[in-house]
Each structure stands twice: as C-alpha cells, then as structure tokens.
Amino acid sequence: MRRNLLVGTAVAAVAISIPVTAVISPAFSGTARAATLSSQQKAAPATKATTTARVTWNMAAAALARELVGAPYAYGGTSTAGFDCSGLTQWVYHHAGGGKAIDRIANDQFHEFKRISQAAARPGDLVFFHETSDPSSYVYHVGVYEGGNDIVAATTPSGGVRFESFAWAGNTVTFGTVTH
C-alpha cells in the first residue's frame, strides 16, 4: 500500500510540474472548449526542466476560424447560420479569447488594421485581397491567415467556409494585424 501511495504521489508531482496553458474559446457549437499543451506531452521525468508553451490570442483566433470550416456561406452573413468573408473575420475576432471588435466590411477592416509583411504575419492575422497590386486599391475579400499560403475564408454559396490557399491572388494580397 505504501508503494502504491508513493507511486501515485510521484505521478501527481510530475503531472503538476508540467506547465499547462489553456485558452477557452467558444467552439462552433457555442460550447467552451479547453486546449491544453499537456495532452500533447509525455510525462517528463521530475529532474528534467520543462517549458511553458504560450497560446496567444492570434493562435486562438486561427484555431476558432478552423473550427468554422464547413459553415455555410450567406451574403451579408455574420453568424454560424451563414457567413460572408468579412462577417466571418468579424465573428472570429469577436469570439476568440477576450474578443476584439472590428469593422464589418472587408475594406473597412483593412483600414483599421496595421499593414505588415507576409514574413511578419502570424496565424490569426487577416489577409486582404485588393482589386489590383496597388495596396491602396479597394479590398473585396478577406480571410483569417493560417500560415504559409493558407487562410480560412467564407468563399461562395457553393464553397461555404473553407481552408484554402491564397496563392491564386498573386501580388494583390496584403496582411494586417491588430495584435502586434
């Protein structure tokens, strides 16, 4: 019995020593879901130093956008019943982490965001699609950056919200942030 108690205490000590950072974000269904680092780690020996992975607001926004893949498209839509592109980005920003209020229309969102390079962009930032390669031209489409050449965006009535590459737009895209 003493051996079992000691083993249980050692396991608890190791589990407690593993740092866990959690972000609660509403899921597509409207329920809260916790994302933790510890479920992805194996128990480290008590003598080995562990590090804390920090889940940023941008990461939470990118993850929330991915949860919406498959939602329907609706012109002017701003809810899980149906989104257009800027309605999706506005909804994600409002519901991720502590929430961030952003404008409703893609072109207006572009003007309120700080322009950054693709190299400086982080998942959760926005990708803006311009009419021409001139970054001051009108923005007609927007999506949530996921890294590389990928975004989550509300596309068309037949496509809905989906994960896609923005490479097709060539040099007509810019990146924007409100977090860094």
**Does residue 84 sit in the same domain as residue 149?**
yes
At a CB cut-off of 8 Å and minimum separation 6, what does 169 contact? 129
**Does residue 155 sit in the same domain as residue 92?**
yes
Domain boundary (55, 72, 96) is at: 55
Average pLDDT over residues 60-83: 98
**Does residue 123 sit in the same domain as residue 162?**
yes
Please write the tens of the pLDDT for every residue from 85-96. 999 999 999 999
Could you tell me the pLDDT band of residue 175, with boundaries at 50, 70 and 90?
Answer: very high
Q: Find the domain containing 109 and state its range.
A: 56-180
Say how far apart CA 71 and CA 77 lie, in whole Å.
Answer: 11
**Does residue 87 sit in the same domain as residue 23?**
no
Could you tell me the pLDDT band of residue 11, with boundaries at 50, 70 and 90?
Answer: very low
CB 126 within 8 A of CB 145: yes
- Position 51 scores a pLDDT of 54
- Dig out the tokens for 68 from the structure: 């919406």
Please write the tens of the pLDDT for every residue from 85-140. 999 999 999 999 999 999 999 999 999 999 999 999 999 999 999 999 999 999 99
Average pLDDT over residues 163-177: 97
- Position 13 scores a pLDDT of 36
Q: How many domains does the chain have?
A: 2
Reduced 3-state DSSP string for the chain:
CHHHHHHHHHHHHHHHHCCCCCEEEECCCCCEEEECCHHHCCCCCCCCCCCCCCCCHHHHHHHHHHHCCCCCECCCCEECCEECHHHHHHHHHHHCCCCCCCCCCHHHHHHHCEEECCCCCCCCCEEEEECCCCCCCCEEEEEEEEECCEEEEECCCCCCEEEEECHHHHHHEEEEECCC
**Does residue 146 sit in the same domain as residue 116?**
yes
Please determine, for residue 22, whether its predicted confidence score (pLDDT) is greater than 50.
no
pTM of the model: 0.73
Could you tell me the pLDDT band of residue 52, with boundaries at 50, 70 and 90?
Answer: low
- Position 99 scores a pLDDT of 95
